[in-house]
Amino acid sequence: MTVRTRFAPSPTGYLHIGGVRTALFCWLYARRFKGTFVLRIEDTDRERSTGEAIQQILDGMKWVGLDHDEGPFYQTQRFDRYKAVLESMLDQGTAYRCYCSKDELEQMRTAQTARGEKPRYDGRCRNRTSAPAGAPFVVRFKNPLDGEIVVEDVVHGPVVFKNAELDDLIIARSDGTPTYNFCVVVDDMDMRITHVIRGDDHLNNTPRQMNMLIALQSPPPVYAHLPMILGSDGAKLSKRHGAVSVLQYRDEGFLPEALLNYLVRLGWSHGDQEIFSRQQMLELFDIVDVNKSASAFNGEKLAWLNQQHIMRAQPARIVEPLKWHLQQLGVTADSDAQLELIVLAQRERAKTIKEMAANSVFFFKAPAAYDEKAVRKHVNAEIVALLRELSGRLSTLTPWSAEAIHESINAFAVQMGQSLGKLAQPIRLAVTGGAVSPPIDATLAILGQQQALARIAAACDAWSA
């Protein structure tokens, strides 16, 4: 039997972290076992589903690189099929028409709640023989009255439900449209899904779905209910901490591989290993290693992982996103070769590509001003004189490489009886305007001889005035 998994978001909002984690586990499991990953859009709620949300989900999935083999399938395009299954269930007596009004149901529920019972449908239309002519009705699934149904969940182990606890759920509304739990069952059956991997907020739906599958004489799939992801405060994920569109992480300068690495470690681990490439996740992931408890989202660890991935990536990999972030800051960079050098120089001092871009603007724009506090600390007349002299030497330096620059400055410092630090900081101020940058030799090398010398000269002039 080949593995078939599915990710089935409902397009009522953007694709967020929780959704991506679910998708990731489905995708990983399918890929790991050479199976098929199906994407299905659950858009039966026409009120809340939007085309924009669908596009967002597709874009998000694409960005993180979770590619599907089949789909996307849309439930709204399968209504005929649902209708057919509905009819056959009615015919076979595994479903029945219920004529109870919403008011009647509401009364029933309040009465039950008042008695301290779980609100549920009491099955009063279950054995109805006469149908009120022309009255509106819903269709309910005829759930078994007694016995037990056990969900053999891969992450939770066996979970037992008494059928008596389950009521007859509505599978078609009075307007004839099918409801979620029913569509899921028909879809999973039709799409021959072998492993249903989803959030554990669905665990309570599972026994009903299994009962329907049994009624349809279709063997239930394997279930794996994933623990939830909580916000950083331990409460439900909200916009404050993570429940934003996954695409926002792209815009904040995160690498998709870092995000996936972070997410895969929420509820899953492989010994003490923290950093996983996409390839390693694929080789090591198994749903049976997933743990049961919910986990809190931690942005700091995500940021750390992001930096780790930035540092490990081929510099060329970072060039495109870096360009994009620079563009956002009004800088157009065209030399990929130079950008690769910038990545090399900056990657251990930026947690995100956005931050890297912000730290790198000076390579493209001469400083408009100099950090006053730093100038006071590092610059005086003597230093300016030294810089002018050093500048003269650097003007004849060839090749203009980091090594050569380092040697030249070092030799000059020794000759003048100065420490390298005494000289490096003022040079840094002159060329960047601030007190922080990559090593001064690399910084000057990337800047280019002409630009570096021009900036030093300009600074000396400014500081002499």
Catalytic, 422? Answer no
Q: Is 2 exposed, middle or buried (0-12, 13-18, 19+ CB in 10 A)?
A: exposed
Interacting residues with RNA between 51 and 70 (CB under 7 A): none
176/179 Cα distance (integer angstroms): 9
Q: Which is nearer to RNA, 35 or 211 (CB)?
A: 211
168 near RNA, rule: CB under 7 A: no
Tell me which residues in 439-458 interact with RNA (CB under 7 A).
Answer: 439-441
Specify the residue, 201 or 389, whose C-beta has the smaller distance to RNA: 201
The values of phi and psi at residue 174, to 5°, are: -65, -15
192-221 binders of RNA (CB under 7 A): 200-205
Quick one: 308 or 338, whose CB is closer to RNA?
308
Instruction: Give dist(CA 168, CA 427) in Å, integer.
Output: 77
Q: Which of residues 356-395 bind RNA (CB under 7 A)?
A: none
Which are the contacts of 280, defined by CB distance < 8 A and separation ≥ 6?
A: none
Interface with RNA, residue 420, by CB under 7 A: yes
Among residue numbers 259 through 298, which ones bind RNA (CB under 7 A)? 265-269, 271-272, 274, 289, 291-296, 298
Work out the burial of residue 293: count CB atoms within 10 Å of its CB; fewer than 13 is exposed, 13-18 middle, 19 or more buried.
exposed
Q: Does 42 bind RNA (CB under 7 A)?
A: yes
* Range 93-112, binding RNA (CB under 7 A): 100-102, 105, 109
User: Can residue 143 be called a binding residue for RNA (CB under 7 A)?
Assistant: no
Sole residue written with tokens 């005035």:
465
Helix ranges (H only) for 196-245 are 206-215
Cβ proximity to RNA: between 35 and 456 the closer is 456
Q: Which of 406, 418, 451, 462 binds RNA (CB under 7 A)?
A: 406
CB of 205: closest distance to RNA in angstroms? 5
Beta-carbon neighbour count of residue 402 at 10 Å?
Answer: 18
Rounded to whole angstroms, how far apart are CA atoms 183 and 206? 13
For residues 171 to 190, the per-residue mask of contacts with RNA, x marking binding by CB under 7 A and - elsewhere, is: --xxx---xxx---------
Q: Which stretch binds RNA (CB under 7 A): 82-90, 161-169, 250-258, 322-330?
A: 161-169
Considering the candidates 236, 239, 301, 377, report the single residue annotated as catalytic. 239
Query: How many residues interact with RNA (rule CB under 7 A)?
Result: 86
Phi and psi of 253, rounded to 5°? 95, 25
Please provide the size of the chain in residues. 465
- What does the per-residue mask of binding to RNA show for 224-243, with x meaning CB under 7 A? ---xx-x---xxx-------
Q: Using the 8-state DSSP alphabet, how is residue 413 labeled?
A: H
Q: What's the burial of 29, exposed, middle or buried (CB within 10 Å: 0-12/13-18/19+)?
A: buried
- Closer CB to RNA, 35 or 154, in the complex: 154
Distance CA 146, CA 163 (A): 5
Q: Which residues are catalytic?
A: 239
